[in-house]
Each structure stands twice: as C-alpha cells, then as structure tokens.
Structure 1
Amino acid sequence: MKKYLLLLILAIPVLAVSQPKYLSVESKILNQKRNIKIQLPRNYSYNTKKSYPVVYVLDGDYLFEPVAGNVDYYSYWEDIPEAIVVGINQNGLRLDDTTYDQSSYLPVDGGANFFEFLGMELMPLIDEEYRTAKFSIAIGHDLTANFINYYLFKENPLFKGYINLSPDYAPEMHDRIFNILETSQEKIWYYIATGTQDVGKLRTDITKLNTRLSGLNNDLVNYYYDDFEGQNHYNLVGNAIPSSLEQIFSVYRPITQYDYKKLRENEKITEYCNFLENKYKEIQDLYGLSIKVRPNDILGISNIIIEKEKWEQLKDLSKVAEREHGETMLGNYLMGYYYEQEGKPKKALKEYQAAYSKEKIAFLNQDFMIEKMDQIKADFGE
C-alpha cells in the first residue's frame, strides 16, 4: 500500500496546475519595490523552444487569480493559447498609480510614474526573463481599466488586447479611444464589460461609449462588448474574464462542431484544405504563434471533403497531414482513402501498409489499418 501511495504522490506534481511565482521588483522609476505574481504555462520548462503571449493584470492583488485560473483552464482545452500571466499588486497604491491631470486627463505624478514603470521596467524585464511572443494583453477593473487605455495612445501601442472590466473612464476618454481605434494601422482587440446592476454612473458612461464604438469602421479593430444580466460591478468580472479571452482568441481555438456545420452550409467556401491552411496562417499573423495544424481539425475537414466528394482536396489534405504529423498514420490514411476513391487499390493498399508501421492517432491504429487492407483485398482481390 505504501508503495502505491508513494507512486501517487510522485505523480501529483506532473498533473498539478503551474504554481505562481512571487517576485519583488525594485523600480528606479517608482523608487520602491513592487510585488509581482507570475504564472507560467504548465509545460513551460519542457517546451524550451516555444514562446507565449503575456497577459498583464492590473489590480493583481485580486484579479490575478481569476485571470490565471481562466488562462490555465481554457488553454488546457486549446480554446486559447497557453500564456504567461503577470499580476501587479496595487493594494493601497491604485489611487496613486492611476492619477491623471484634471485638465489634460492624462497620467500625472504617481500615475505617470506607474505608466513608465509598467512599460519601461516591468515589460522589458518579463521579455528578458521569459520566452514571450509579440502579443500581449492588459486587463484592468474600473480605475485600472481606464488606465490601460493610456498605452493605446502611444505611437506604437504596447498591448494588442485591452480588456476593460467596468471601466471608470476619465473625461475625454470616449473621443480619444474612438479616434485611436478608428484610425489604427495595427491589429487591436478591444473589450468592454458591464452588467445590468453595475454602478449607475459607470454603466451609463459605458453604454454610451459602446453605442459609439459599435459604429467603428476599421477592419483592423476587433471590438467586443458584454452586458451581463443581473451582474454587478464586482461579480461581472467572473463572467467577463473567460468571455473576453475566448473572443480575443476566437481564431485560435480548434474548429468546433458549430464551425463545421456553418462551413458545410457556406456555399462561398469550396476549397476546404485552403480554408484550413489559411486558419493557421491567420493564427501566426494575428498572434505571432506558430502551431501545428491540429489532427482533429484535419480529420474534421476530411469529413467535409469526403461528404462533398472533393477527392483532389483530400489528396492535398493528406500532404498537410504528412507535413504536420508525418510520424503518425494520418497522412497515409488520407492518401489511401483518396486512392480508393480514384479506383487505385494497389496504391491505396501501399499507403495503408505504410500507415501500419507508424504511430496511432485518434481512431487510427493497427487494427483499423488491417481492416482497411483486408477490405481492399476482398473488394479488389489485391
């Protein structure tokens, strides 16, 4: 019994969620130390060539844990990419950190210092210490949600994504945000959340801005808005964090059953292999992430191709599978299926024989390949 208990204890760390690191960062700009929390992806130490987006969480003393938990959960299911989460604790300091001038409504005094600390000290430190991709997101709540927008006004914005949780916008912020988003030459993801029981003044202001931003005419800007029924200023956060992450990374997620249904019904899309390749190219272009085409996405697209009897596209798809997962049976299986439909049993048999010696994947295994080979011999006498 003790032996089995020891094995169980030894296995637990492998399955556990990555534990956050707690750092005390000495800031020359702030002339003080700041407490930082960092959560790395579960397999960060093993995937030594992989880079990760970074999510910067203001109000990290209470927002870090829900953001880090959601990032870990949704990335586990591949709905969003694995990411590094960095939380800046501001307990007792947030009013000073978010100070803005009462005439220009731009950061001043402690706000100006905190602005420089995050952009000129903390972000370079994270980029130096960890493998970061060129895609970062800022998250804030009420005052800190207003504050993250100041980075949007830089000539080269530091963040690609802005998650505003019940923002308490400064005066003139509506005009500034709209003008920046309307004229942006860079891809930007902009999210706002409120709730039907949010603070009245904030909700009124947020809904006015939403009306205006809904009229944006810039294809480079992805704008999202949630108004959560029955949620107040604090509990809307629990709904907004996963919603914002899912929407910002909607292109990244695997192709869902709903996506397949829409794809089948879309008469404008007829080149299904190209559709798949373009999806992964878009992931690279949008998020700076180079990932292999998922096997389930390949199999899902193959089902549509087979249903539509686009056999040449199945041949093209088999090449994608071989390129991305050449160690598995997938590419040979698809090529074998293609040859079967083309009435070339000898070539199909050769592909299934080649697949037999490779790694199994999904429903494809040695038994399945034997069945395919036996079927060809029975049907064609090969």
Structure 2
Amino acid sequence: MKTTLISLLCLLFSLNIFGQVKKTKYDSTILGETRQFQFYIPEDYDPEKKYPLFIVLDGDYLFDLVVASVKFNSYNDLMPKSIVVGINQGYNNLRFSDCDFSDEDGLPKEKGKLFFDFIEREVVPLIQQNYNLAEFKAVAGHGITANFINYYLFKDNPLFDAYISLSPTFAPQMTERIADRLSQFEDRKFYYLANSERNLDKEDKERISALNGMLKTIDNPKFYYFYDNFENATPFTAASYGIPKAIDLMFDLYEPISKEEYDKNVITHEAPVINYLIKKQETIKELFGFEKPIPLNDIMAIYSVIKTKKYDDLESLERLSDISKKEFPDTMLGFFFLAEYYEQMGEPKKALKTYENAFTMSEIDFLTKDLMLDRITSIKEDFGY
C-alpha cells in the first residue's frame, strides 16, 4: 500500500510538471483491491489557482471524451481549466460489481457501498492533498454508472455539484428519488440527462423520459437542469454527443458575454449597468468557488452600453475604471475610462491630467497613444490650457 501510494504521489507530481495524461494503479484500503486510474492535470497548473474537479466513471472510454472537452473549452476561455480523474472499470466485470444495488430498494449493496466510500474517502481526498481544488466538483457516468452517480445526491452535503448522466440504466425507485431530492437543495446543483431515440431497451428509454418529465417541472432557482434526447444516437453514441454538450451548458455563465447575452440582458439592464457585470462575477464565484479574471470582452460590453446610452450612467463608468485598473493594471484602460468620466462630469483639468497618465501606459484594444494625444489636444484647444 505504502509503495503504491508513494508511486501515485510521484505520478501526480510529474503531471504537475508536464501536464500529461497518465495511467496508474492504486491499492485501495476500502475496496481491498488494486484499481486503475487516469489523470489529466492542466499543462500550466498553478498551485496558487483553484481548479474544478471532474470524476469520470467508466474512465476506460469516457475519460478521453471529458478531457478533450475540458481542454477545448478552457483553451477558448469557455470554462476554467480543470483536473480530470478517470476511474477505469472495464475489466474483471468491475463496473457491475462497483455499482451493485439491491433489487428491492435500488440502493447500493455490498461492493456498491464500498465503491461509494472509495470515491468519497480515498479518491477525492488524494487529489485534494496534492492539488488546489475549487469547491466545484462534477461527476459523470454512463448506463449503470450513470445510475450510480445519483447516490451522492442523497447525502446531507453531497460531494458533487454537477452530475452528467448519460443514458442511465436506473435501479428500482431511483427516478422518483432523484426528482424529489433535486427539488430540495438550497445550494446550486447542475444536472445533465441524456437519452437516445435508438435505445433498444424500451424500459430504460421510458424511465429516462419519465425522469425528464419530473425534473423539468422542478421550481427551484438553485437547480440547473439540461436534457437532450438525441434522435439518431444509440445509448453509446449519446455519450460522445452528450459530454461536450453537458460541459458547455454547465459553464454557460462562465463564458464571456456573447452578442445574444448582450442584446437580451446587458443593454436592457437598468442603470447602473456595472451591476450586471458585478453580479455575473459574484455568481461565478458562488458556483465554482473562485474568482474569475474579468475578460476584456466583458469590460468592453459594459462600456458599449454606457456609450450607447450617451453617458447617462456615469456611476458605471467610474466603477468600470476601478475594475479595469485592477484587471489590466499596466494598460491605458482604467485611466481612459476615468478621464471620460471627468469629461462628462465637467472637470476638464482632471480629465486632461488623466489622459496624460493614460498616454504613459500600454496600448490595449482600440486605445492607442494617438487617441490619447487627440483627446489631450482637444481639451487644450477647447479650454485654452
């Protein structure tokens, strides 16, 4: 046990350096057996930052799909960089013994109980000891493992915040239990459910559809529910369709402000519009457990609204200046917004000095030294400075 644990810790350290996907083995005290894992740690892992965690059951074939989606979305700033752990179950009939449940009440029994504890008391703590994890944790499963992940919902303080359930094969009484539990949470929970039209098991297909009927009626502002019924998919291809879709939907709020979001929510927001951006950032922190750097795209979206409304919202312009100085401290951005604020407030001397300060900073986006000179010259000519 000690030798294997040391080997695993060495592997985790090597992943920190090289950002590789690696396979390893671990001697589980709870299960009394050796288990196979796969790990993905972001290439530029920074111990000062926090990372969401994805636990992937059926890691033999789901792990690569999750890693690919996580890498693609995080590369494009559509989600935070994350750590992914796959638990392999495709040998020695493990996925069925791991997920064993009682035919009477549908709850885990024997090996199923141990596997539940194994994830909660060995797998996740091991990652927490070696990496800086955000509060946000997700779990994914397919078929019988998609049924198993729901057992974590029934804890008083569930281990996971997000559940990706791909073509689940439900145990008895599970659909009613899941719907009842998800209606009760006072903290945020994400739940993605995938079905497939070409599912030859009629009972599975109907029970997934029935669960969807129950979940979509839940009136709970803390519950985020997503459902797909893939018309041309089998239960297996539904996994390849569902994983990128689930991850995209799960992190929708994290994405930079889109044109659709701008038209629907931002430009229609009552003044001060800066509150929209602040609320968005607060919600991201609440959901994922860390502060996201505010992208230039979002700052410019707020500035666009201020300009469109002819600078009626000067409070937002001043506060946008403060945010910009924090997020882009070496650039003109914060000083430029502050200079415009002074201009609109009828304080040309302060505006002139602030534009001069901006001139000494680095250019960014449409802000150039030529533009600063134009603003400086214009004020001097208008007021005879």
Alignment of structure 1 residues 279-290 onto 2, 5 Å: 279-290=280-291
The answer to whether the 8 A contact 1:306-1:314 is kept is no
Alignment of structure 1 residues 120-139 onto 2, 5 Å: 120-139=121-140
- 1:64-110 deviations in Å (ceiling 9; x for gaps): 00100100110111111111011111112111111111112111122
What is the rounded CA distance, in whole Å, between the counterparts of 1:265 and 1:298 in structure 2? 13
The aligned counterpart of 2:211 is 209
Identical amino acids, percent of aligned pairs? 39
Aligned letter for 2:216?
Answer: S
What is the rounded CA distance, in whole Å, between the counterparts of 2:250 and 2:33 in structure 1? 34
Aligned letter for 1:320?
Answer: I
Alignment of structure 1 residues 1-382 onto 2, 5 Å: 18-44=19-45, 47-92=46-91, 93-199=94-200, 200-264=202-266, 266=268, 269-308=270-309, 309=311, 310-382=313-385
What is the rounded CA distance, in whole Å, between the counterparts of 1:30 and 1:351 in structure 2? 66
The answer to whether the 8 A contact 2:51-2:81 is kept is yes
What is the rounded CA distance, in whole Å, between the counterparts of 1:319 and 1:123 in structure 2? 39
SS, match of residue 185 in structure 1: coil
* More moved, 128-137 vs 20-29: 20-29
The answer to whether the 8 A contact 1:22-1:38 is kept is yes
CA offset at residue 302 of structure 1? 0.6
What is the rounded CA distance, in whole Å, between the counterparts of 1:261 and 1:27 in structure 2? 53
What is the rounded CA distance, in whole Å, between the counterparts of 1:215 and 1:101 in structure 2? 29
The aligned counterpart of 1:7 is none
TM-score (norm 2): 0.89
Unpaired runs of at least 5, structure 1: 1-16
TM-score (norm 1): 0.90
Query: Alignment RMSD, CA only?
Result: 1.8
SS, match of residue 328 in structure 1: coil
The answer to whether the 8 A contact 1:195-1:228 is kept is yes
CA offset at residue 26 of structure 1? 1.2
Give the aligned length.
Answer: 363
The answer to whether the 8 A contact 2:21-2:39 is kept is yes
* More moved, 277-286 vs 358-367: 358-367
Aligned letter for 2:246?
Answer: S
Aligned letter for 2:233?
Answer: Q
SS, match of residue 160 in structure 2: coil
The aligned counterpart of 2:6 is none
The answer to whether the 8 A contact 2:266-2:302 is kept is no
The answer to whether the 8 A contact 1:336-1:352 is kept is yes
Unpaired runs of at least 5, structure 2: 1-17
CA offset at residue 380 of structure 1? 4.6
The aligned counterpart of 1:11 is none
Q: 1:313 to 1:177 in 2, by over 3 A?
A: same
What is the rounded CA distance, in whole Å, between the counterparts of 1:145 and 1:85 in structure 2? 17
The answer to whether the 8 A contact 1:263-1:269 is kept is no
What is the rounded CA distance, in whole Å, between the counterparts of 1:271 and 1:182 in structure 2? 34
